[in-house]
Amino acid sequence: MKPINVGLIGLGTVGTGVTNILLGEKPVLEEKLECVPVLKAIADRSISAKAPKMNLDSSILLTDNPDDVINNEDIDVIVEVIGGTDTALNVVQKGLENGKDIVTANKELLAVYGTELFEKACQVGKCISFEASVCGGIPVIATLKDSLIGNRIKSIYGIVNGTTNFILTKMANHNVDYGTVLAEAQEKGYAESNPSKDVNGIDSAHKLAILAKLAYGLHFDFESIYCDGISDIQLEDICYANQLGYTLKLLAISKRTSLGLELRVHPTLLSHDHPLATVNGVNNGVYVVGDAIGQIMLCGPGAGGMATASSIVADIVDVGLGKAKPMFDNFRYFKEQPIDTKVIDILEISSRYYFHFIVADIPGVLAKISGIIGQNNIGIASVIQHEEIRHGGVPLIMVTHQAREGDVREAIGQIKKLEVVKGDVRFIRIEDTLE
Amino acid sequence: MKPINVGLIGLGTVGTGVTNILLGEKPVLEEKLECVPVLKAIADRSISAKAPKMNLDSSILLTDNPDDVINNEDIDVIVEVIGGTDTALNVVQKGLENGKDIVTANKELLAVYGTELFEKACQVGKCISFEASVCGGIPVIATLKDSLIGNRIKSIYGIVNGTTNFILTKMANHNVDYGTVLAEAQEKGYAESNPSKDVNGIDSAHKLAILAKLAYGLHFDFESIYCDGISDIQLEDICYANQLGYTLKLLAISKRTSLGLELRVHPTLLSHDHPLATVNGVNNGVYVVGDAIGQIMLCGPGAGGMATASSIVADIVDVGLGKAKPMFDNFRYFKEQPIDTKVIDILEISSRYYFHFIVADIPGVLAKISGIIGQNNIGIASVIQHEEIRHGGVPLIMVTHQAREGDVREAIGQIKKLEVVKGDVRFIRIEDTLE
């Protein structure tokens, strides 16, 4: 069997990780495999600054121009670890046109341009592998696509962003507010200087788009994913929820219901004893429900150079040994739209809810608020009201039974107008069955 | 691409699950794949009793003789779900000789005869897939073999037997003794009428043998795995350990150390906040440490007809699409012994330990016991001694720092001989770093 010739485009944290695994002192792949990948070329716009530090063999082509790799006839597999959708889109498109298989860690590229890139790969008879695009080192793509192929996937619940999970874990465990923890995360390198795609949930939505395509084959518009981030999360809600037995996580959720498919990213309360509630810090966790397997959870490092490189190397071997292509060719979800499932509007979903009100400390307030809630077909499961005065009123916390989001928004709209209600009304969705 | 013709041997719980997935009302595989497996033949010794209940298509060959399937020229893939090592060994050997690929759920067969069966498969140019042999529906084989191929595996810690995990969870959560829970597990079908292979750890050792081969390529003798079961576990030890912050699990452990490779199955205390400590009931969980990925955990249903069938169907597709063979052919660990790693004796391992003594309530006892422990190079980390009288003495609980097992056994031998020590001395190994 001929060696697998690899061209790497991007020598950041992940690209360096891939280089370290392929060229390490005691290369593990040579110990395990008869046919191993050979790193032939590396392109990076700062190659002249980075390469000398890495003690690379002189046989490896080093360039600052991706085209030198894409147009190189010796190369079989292009590893794209640039990120973003500008150069990366060009690299993947041209690579496919030049007859290269693609391995990528680029969730944004696949979430936004996945459908057309998969189509192009099929046309030219090549394949795209992308384990590293979701949850770094955790084999969630292989699990959904291959290991659970015999399952109709019912739902996926994922903690798929390490930055936000670090922030929420730290807020809960150290009783610190959002702004303080974000600053610390930026200092430690767990959050970028512009953390908006992480904290507003867009990064999680990109990953959910990829997982949903594997689970349901939906060719949906990325914009149809409902997306709420964590930047408005108040420490006091985490504390009240904790008293009620819940842990707050930013979840990416897809769920097949009788009404259609739910696709949503938002802060979510989970029962303390749910396996996902124990996935802490920068770790990721994905919980999948399938009709044959029941429930399964995978957790581990969702980011980091070496962990992500671990997934990329697995993909290189998969592609290089010819294991990736038969699946890529045969998997209908990459090509067509086999399920007649529509993505339902957030107002149509059903969930349990946590409410936080600040109310005037006068008689009749609870009756008024619970009256409006009842009139909107929402049942109240539990209530906390203490005597403390905060924010010019008394905090009133409620947890509902299952209710329709449209009804919840209507009720909140009415409650906000009450004179006895002071300041912001907040709600957080609760998932406690995870089925 | 031609369809994948499947012959199923064994129509028990798992075989029925496979049939249900392949022949279900809305076959999920047809929705996902262009080329799907076709069930051509089923052999079971009670086929005439079982088949009529299943509403099978008349085109499927039904027989009570495995040879009718093994010798059938139409069949590409044999699924062996008989279990045991008598008929199953014959089925797999003959199937390979007849040019069939093999999918099996048989951990005992692979643990004991794996080396020679893999060798035979390589000789005849066929492959053996065995995801279902360890942890039912959890893709632990694919993860170790494929997803973590770029990693040097440092260690594996697995709760790989659902029966014993059910028993230990129930003992801890309901404060019930071993015998009572075992009887309940047998009544519920979680334990077999002869549960010896589960409770004595042999089943876990079979699975560890398979995982270790994938992680280290060791061609070791199955008998070299140290194996202790749970039948001597006392409820009071679970309670004392709980007070000290530990949960008891039956763990299968493999660990690469500077001395060699540790391979062992035994009751183990884990810190309450370790992810494996929250894997409860009949669930399984496997925690893997690799040099690139760091730590990763998979958990879910380790047994059950449909969950195990989920893994078998994934293997059938893998084999049928030609994805399994390139890896089977290229994976050195199936063929040769690439690592110069010896399995080290249990007396050479290093661990922390929990000790339970019953001692006379007289002055100087603690000094005598802790003196012997210290003389054997063992440091004491914590001690519990209450005033209660039990079993004719006072319970004395100790937790040690890291110590060599040989030293621990020596110390215990000396302590047992003390007149002030009454009844049994017990110890349980503690793993609290899991690195």
Q: What is the pLDDT of residue B199?
A: 96
Tell me where in chain A the CATH 3.30.360.10 domain(s) lie.
140-300
- Delimit the CATH 3.40.50.720 region(s) of chain B: 4-136+306-334
What CATH fold (topology level) applies to the domain A350-431? Alpha-Beta Plaits (3.30.70)
> What's the predicted TM-score (pTM) here?
0.96
Q: Averaged over A41-47, what is the pLDDT?
A: 97
Alpha-carbon distance of B109 to B10, in angstroms, equals 15
Domain spanning B140-301: CATH 3.30.360.10: yes
- Determine whether domain A140-300 maps to CATH 3.30.360.10: yes
Judged against a pLDDT cut of 70, whether residue A434 lies above it is answered with yes
pLDDT (tens digit per residue) in B68-124: 999 999 999 999 999 999 999 999 999 999 999 999 999 999 988 998 999 999 999
The domain made up of B349-431 is a member of CATH 3.40.50.2020: no
Q: Which helix (H) or strand (E) holds B9?
A: strand B4-9
Question: What is the distance between the alpha carbons of residues B388 and B287, in angstroms, rounded to a whole number?
Answer: 39
Chain A contact for B272 (CB, 8 A cutoff): no
Give contacts of A13 with chain B, Cβ < 8 Å.
none
Name the residue with tokens 């549960």: B195
The reply to whether residue A35 touches residue B330, judged by beta carbons under 8 angstroms, is: yes
The predicted-structure confidence for A262-294, as pLDDT tens digits, reads as follows 999 999 999 998 999 999 999 999 999 999 999
Q: Which residue of B1, B4, B146 is the best one to mutate when testing the A interface, meaning the one whose CB has the most A CBs within 10 A? A: B146
How far apart are the C-alpha atoms of B175 and B236, rounded to whole Å?
A: 9
Nearest CA-CA distance, residue B139 and chain A, Å: 6
Give SS3 for B362: coil
Running DSSP on this structure, what letter comes out for residue A344? P
Residues of chain B with Cβ-Cβ distance to A28 below 8 Å are 149-152, 291
pLDDT at A311 over 80: yes
Q: Which amino acid is at B351?
A: S
Q: Using only the alpha carbons of chain A, give its radius of gyration.
A: 24
Instruction: Return mean pLDDT, chain A.
Output: 93
Asked about B207 being catalytic, the answer comes back as yes
Model pLDDT, residue B340: 64
d(CA A428, CA B227): 49
**Which residues from chain A sit within 8 angstroms of residue B311, using beta carbons?**
147
User: Which pLDDT value is given to residue B51?
Assistant: 92
Confidence of residue A338 (pLDDT cuts 50, 70, 90): low
Distance CA(B39)–CA(B60), nearest Å, equals: 7
- Kindly state whether A315 is in contact with chain B, defined as any CB-CB distance less than 8 angstroms: no
> What parts of chain B have a pLDDT lower than 70?
1, 337-340
Q: What is the pLDDT of residue B388?
A: 78
Q: Which fold has domain B4-136+306-334?
A: Rossmann fold (3.40.50)
- Would you say residue A337 has pLDDT above 70? no
- Two tokens at B57? 């298509």
Average pLDDT over residues A205-210: 96
3-state SS assignment for residue A42? strand
Whether A332 contacts B33, CB under 8 Å: yes
A386 has a pLDDT exceeding 90: no
Q: Give Dmax over CA atoms of chain A in angstroms.
A: 82
Q: Chain A neighbours among B 209-228 (CB < 8 Å)?
A: 217
Structure tokens at B288: 């893997």
Of residues A139, A278, A291, nearest to B278 (C-beta): A278
Distance between CA atoms of A21 and A69, rounded to whole angstroms?
Answer: 20
Model pLDDT, residue B337? 65
In 3D, which of B276, B333, B327 has the Cα closest to residue A146? B327
pLDDT of residue B338: 59
Averaged over A221-230, what is the pLDDT?
A: 93
Give the tens place of pLDDT for each residue, A391-412: 778 999 999 999 999 999 999 9
Structure tokens at B382: 């914590």
Residue A248 phi/psi, 5-degree rounding, is -95, 130
For residue A350, the 8-state DSSP code is: E
